[in-house]
Amino acid sequence: MFTAPITNDSEYLKIFISDADIEYKENANISFCSKTMGEYLYKVSHEFNLDDDVFFISVELLNKYLTMSIISTFGDGNAVTDEEQNVDEQLSDQQILDKATLSSEQYIQNKHLLATACLQIAAKACQKFVDNPRLEEYLQEIEIQEITKDNLLETEIKILKTIHYQIPIHIPHVFISYFLRFFNDEISPCKFFNYERFHNLSMVILLHIYLKWDLLIKKLARIENGLTDVTEEQTDIISHRLKDCLLLGSSTILAASKISGLDSKLHNKIINLFVQYLGFNPMRIYISEFIIKESISDDNITDVMETKEDEEITQTEPILTHMTAS
């Protein structure tokens, strides 16, 4: 059957939104990637001059691998027979917890190896080159001894097999890029909107979220529950909600709009487009307001906003160097 080619950004955006929504609804409610590993992945990607795409993909790849690893402990991830299904259903809550705990322990033991392998795969997917001898040398410098050329390659293969060779594409930074290109075309020409500057600011904020993930999730859980101490279950609910790349991506764009002081008509245009393409969701406004508050309270972001007021934000390194050190 002949399929007409996609001819404009609006069609790309609609397809991306549809596919991302399906993927989010089908995914298990599991998220592992911690602030520590986010910082580690950024540190290594920055050392080798890899762009933000590589960083974002590597984080999401690690999450996907760990999620599918948990799923595989209950089967092979494919269709199962009624007999196999019955066996799974007969597992006690304690047995399920034990399996999940074992997978988590294995991750903790090999987290640097797994994260580095994810970074390598992400770099290759983005057609970037990482000098392996230099990588081994750098890992020795930061006292990570367990990674070798051989076990890194073996781990890359293991990860790719586990995720069925499907690199994550429905992730927040991709949605942000798609939407802002579409928005730029919708309002062009417009002297009140600088695509490059707005896009880069959105990426700065999104990087802030990734690198402060655990802290922000716990803070949001405390606010929602009105408690100073929250349970793991309460933080997991927040974490799963923000695994929705459409919610996190659109909230980040709204936060960037407010922080940048975007013209109110353009800000409302963005909201209307979100309602048109994503549906009405009060959570988007709520999350964006939380992101705004947390972003502007970070001195590294506000300093850059002030010093870059009359120029484009062309790189995130000055912010993130301080972030990862904090």
Taking the domains of the chain in order of start, what are their residue ranges? 29-162, 172-325
Q: Is the pLDDT of residue 323 over 80?
A: no
Residue showing tokens 């429905």: 170
Q: What is the DSSP code (8-state) at residue 73?
A: T
Q: What is the DSSP code (8-state) at residue 77?
A: S
Q: Is the pLDDT of residue 250 over 50?
A: yes
All residues at 6 or more sequence positions from 299 whose CB lies less than 8 Å from its CB, including other chains: none
Report yes or no: 278 and 162 within 8 Å, Cβ to Cβ: no
* pLDDT for res 81: 44
- Mean residue pLDDT of the chain comes to 81
Q: Is the pLDDT of residue 103 over 50?
A: yes
* pLDDT for res 26: 75
- Which one-letter amino acid corresponds to residue 313? I
Residue 179 vs residue 3, higher pLDDT = 179
Which whole number is the average pLDDT over 177-195? Answer: 91
Query: Could you count the other beta carbons within 10 Å of the beta carbon of residue 133?
Result: 8
Burial 51-76 (b: 16+ CB within 10 A, else e): ebbbbbbbbbbbbbbbbbbbbeebee
Q: What is the pLDDT of residues 117-159, one digit of tens each?
A: 999 999 999 999 898 889 989 998 988 888 888 999 999 999 9
* pLDDT for res 93: 58
Report yes or no: 229 and 8 within 8 Å, Cβ to Cβ: no
CATH of domain 29-162: 1.10.472
Q: In terms of DSSP H, where are the helices of the chain?
A: 9-26, 35-47, 52-72, 82-89, 93-109, 111-125, 132-141, 149-162, 172-187, 195-211, 213-225, 232-241, 245-260, 264-278, 282-296, 299-307, 317-325
Nearest Cα residue to 114 out of 36, 3, 6 = 36
Q: Is the pLDDT of residue 84 over 50?
A: no
* pLDDT for res 318: 38
Q: Is the pLDDT of residue 179 over 90?
A: yes
Q: Is the pLDDT of residue 209 over 70?
A: yes
Distance of CA 317 to the CA centre of its chain: 18
Count Cα atoms within 13 angstroms, Cβ side, for 208: 27
Report yes or no: 235 and 13 within 8 Å, Cβ to Cβ: no
Question: What CA–CA distance (Å, rounded) separates 243 from 239?
Answer: 6
C-alpha distance from residue 141 to each of 44, 47, 251 (Å) = 12, 12, 38
Least confident of 17-21, 43-47, 83-87: 83-87
Q: Is the pLDDT of residue 29 over 80?
A: no
Q: Is the pLDDT of residue 4 over 90?
A: no
Question: What CA–CA distance (Å, rounded) separates 4 from 257?
Answer: 35
Find out whether the peptide bond into 189 is cis, omega within 30 degrees of 0: yes
Q: What is the pLDDT of residues 278-322, one digit of tens each?
A: 998 999 999 999 999 888 776 555 554 554 444 444 444 433 433
C-alpha distance from residue 85 to each of 72, 81, 103, 150 (Å) = 13, 6, 21, 37
Query: Could you count the other beta carbons within 10 Å of the beta carbon of residue 297?
Result: 9
Question: What CA–CA distance (Å, rounded) separates 313 from 49?
Answer: 17
Question: What CA–CA distance (Å, rounded) separates 292 from 303?
Answer: 15
Q: DSSP characters for 207-263?
A: HHHHHTHHHHHHHHHHHHHT-SS--HHHHHHHHHHTT-HHHHHHHHHHHHHHHHT--
Q: What is the pLDDT of residues 168-178, one digit of tens each?
A: 999 999 999 99
Which whole number is the average pLDDT over 86-110? Answer: 60
Q: Is the pLDDT of residue 105 over 70?
A: no
